[in-house]
Amino acid sequence: MPLPRKHSPPNGIQKAICIVDDDEAVADSLQALLETFGFNVQSYSSGSEFFADERHRAAGCLLIDQHMPGASGLDVVDNLRKEGVQIPTILISGRLDASTRERATRLGVRELLDKPVAACRLIQAIRTTLANIR
């Protein structure tokens, strides 16, 4: 079932969705999709780039790839938790094994999505995640 396009996020949510993915084509596609649905989006190519931008602390949701050079997605989430930052997180990966799923659960990741992610499934996961933080 196709999702209706919205020109503004549900419930007037204006906090940014932060995308962290080292694959520029994937990050650009995700950003374009989310902006089509009215979300405010910031995109980063690595965990270190994400941490360098102080706006990361005010993000509404983190959409992060697990397998990246340097720090993995869960390493980034772990560092956020150590900083006391609790951004609702959706982890995406082409290889979600049992140990990754277990660690993600321990770190409080809200959703685990296998790549490739269907657009309707991703939008649903983001809407659910944002609705649960209100």
Q: Is residue 4 part of a domain?
A: no
According to DSSP, residue 37 is labeled T
What is the value of pTM for the model shown?
0.89
Q: Is residue 53 part of a domain?
A: yes
Angular region, 94: left φ>0, alpha ψ -120 to 50, beta rest: alpha
- How sure is the predictor about 8, in pLDDT bands with cuts at 50, 70 and 90? very low
Amino acid at 62: L
Q: Is residue 1 part of a domain?
A: no
Number of domains in the chain: 1
Q: Is residue 6 part of a domain?
A: no
Q: Is residue 7 part of a domain?
A: no
Q: For residue 42, give its domain range.
A: 13-131
pLDDT at 134: 57
Query: Does position 122 have pLDDT exceeding 90, yes or no?
Result: yes
Query: Does position 43 have pLDDT exceeding 70, yes or no?
Result: yes
Q: Is residue 2 part of a domain?
A: no
Q: Is residue 123 part of a domain?
A: yes
CATH number at residue 87: 3.40.50.2300
What is the spatial distance between Cα 123 and Cα 3, in angstroms, rounded to a whole number? 8
What is the spatial distance between Cα 6 and Cα 132, in angstroms, rounded to a whole number? 19
Q: Is residue 62 part of a domain?
A: yes
How do residues 67-105 score in pLDDT, each as one tens digit?
999 999 999 999 999 999 999 999 999 899 999 999 999
Q: Are 89 and 106 in contact (CB under 8 A)?
A: no
